Amino acid sequence: MDAKHPVRTTEKTLLLIEQLMEAGPCGVTELSNRLDIGKSAVHNHLTTLQSHGYVLKTDGEYRLGLKFLEIGGHIRKSMELYEVAEPEVKSLAAETGELANLLVEERGLGVYLMRAKGDDAVDLDTYAGLRTNLHTTALGKAILANLPKSRVEEIIDHRGLEQKTPKSIGTREELYDVLDDVRERGYAIDDGERLEGLRCLAAPVKASSGEVLGAISVSAPASRVSDEDLYEALPERVLSAANVVELNINY
């Protein structure tokens, strides 16, 4: 949602923060050129952020400070879903030996709340706080399948259906067919749709009202996940973990 009366000063500060997140350490001149904001204004914003611990300066370059991690950690800790799901996600990772994940939807994107690594887990590009398109992940499809169709339409209109790999869903018709299958099975599958060579299976976590709160998944290299694993062994484990979380949240 766009603000009706945006505050330009705040917008500039946020642009600087996002640019530092994307580009890494930068100097005033580089940030000024990247964002088309005057050097003096950039410097003033940065020094204000620095005085509050949000930005650090080293050798003439500015980078984001750990103050953001403190805020993110506080937000995550305050979420009931995270508190209840954390032990189950860790247990799922230990049981399967693979990477287990917890994701929620916010503003039409999936946001990873946590991941836990089993003994054989691959180290992917995911981390707590990473945002991703919902239609390219098993986690996201598990959530989309349990949202009202009107909300799914809003998300597609706003976020599109970007294809991360040749296997990514690219049309509304294909997405709705897949979501029908997810609802019928009770779980979602990602077979190389976000990262080639990776297979994932996810189950939704729902409140007693039926509202979807998030999703739990297991991810592993395709070389280690056979079709039998994907359609028989893994579903039982992931569905069981999601069920335990639901029971603990609802009762």
* Paired tokens of 219: 């991810």
pLDDT higher than 90, residue 95 = yes
Q: Model-level pTM? A: 0.85
pLDDT higher than 90, residue 166 = yes
Q: What is the structure's pLDDT at 183?
A: 98
Q: Does residue 20 contact residue 63 with C-beta atoms inside 8 Å?
A: yes
Collapsing DSSP states into helix, strand and coil, what is residue 68? helix
For the chain, list the strands marked E by DSSP.
Answer: 55-58, 61-64, 99-106, 109-117, 131-132, 188-191, 198-206, 212-221
The number of angstroms, rounded, from the C-alpha of 124 to the middle of its chain's C-alpha atoms is 13
Q: How confident is the model at residue 233 (pLDDT cuts 50, 70, 90)?
A: confident
Query: If you search the block for the tokens 């996201």, which residue do you land on?
Result: 140
Q: What is the structure's pLDDT at 2?
A: 61
pLDDT higher than 90, residue 5 = no
The number of angstroms, rounded, from the C-alpha of 29 to the middle of its chain's C-alpha atoms is 32
* 46 contacts: CB under 8 Å, gap ≥ 6: 16, 28, 31, 55, 57, 62
Query: If you search the block for the tokens 């929620």, which residue do you land on?
Result: 104
> Which among 191, 213, 210, 214 has a CA at the least distance from the CA of 201?
191
- CA distance linking residue 92 with residue 215, whole number of Å: 13
pLDDT higher than 70, residue 86 = yes
The number of angstroms, rounded, from the C-alpha of 216 to the middle of its chain's C-alpha atoms is 12
Q: What is the structure's pLDDT at 78?
A: 80
Q: How confident is the model at residue 174 (pLDDT cuts 50, 70, 90)?
A: very high
> Comparing 104-108, 122-126, 127-131, 210-214, which segment has the lowest mean pLDDT?
122-126
pLDDT higher than 70, residue 245 = yes
pLDDT higher than 90, residue 69 = no
Q: What is the structure's pLDDT at 75?
A: 85
Task: Give how far Cα 100 sits from Cα of 119, 130, 132, Å.
Answer: 11, 15, 16
Angle subtended at Cα 59 by Cα 57 and Cα 62, rounded to the nearest 5 degrees: 30
Range 8-65: architecture per CATH: Orthogonal Bundle (1.10)
Q: Where in the chain is the domain with CATH 3.30.450.40?
A: 72-250
pLDDT higher than 60, residue 11 = yes
> Comparing 35-44, 69-78, 115-124, 209-218, which segment has the lowest mean pLDDT?
69-78
Q: Give 207-225 pLDDT, tens digit per residue.
A: 999 999 999 999 999 999 8
pLDDT higher than 90, residue 144 = yes
CATH 1.10.3720.10 for the 72-250 domain, yes or no: no
Q: Where in the chain is the domain with CATH 1.10.10.10?
A: 8-65
Over the chain, what is the mean pLDDT?
A: 93
- CA distance linking residue 209 with residue 250, whole number of Å: 9
* 214 contacts: CB under 8 Å, gap ≥ 6: 81, 85, 102, 103, 104, 105, 113, 143, 204, 205
> What percentage of the chain reaches a pLDDT higher than 70?
98
pLDDT higher than 60, residue 116 = yes
Q: What is the structure's pLDDT at 1?
A: 55
DSSP conformation class of 171: S
- CA distance linking residue 240 with residue 218, whole number of Å: 12
